[in-house]
Amino acid sequence: MCPNCEDFARTVLLLGQLALYADMTGADLDFVEAVSPCLAVSLPEPPPGMFPDGYDTDGGPASAGDC
Average per-residue pLDDT in the chain? 81
* C-beta of residue 47 within 8 angstroms of C-beta of residue 30: no
- Give the rounded percent of residues in the chain with a pLDDT score beyond 70: 78
| Cα distances (angstroms) measured from residue 17 to each of 36, 39, 53 | 10, 12, 29
* C-beta of residue 43 within 8 angstroms of C-beta of residue 8: yes
**Residue 19 pLDDT > 50, yes or no?**
yes
d(CA 18, CA 11): 10
pLDDT of residue 59: 66
Higher per-residue pLDDT: 51 or 40: 40
pLDDT of residue 16: 94
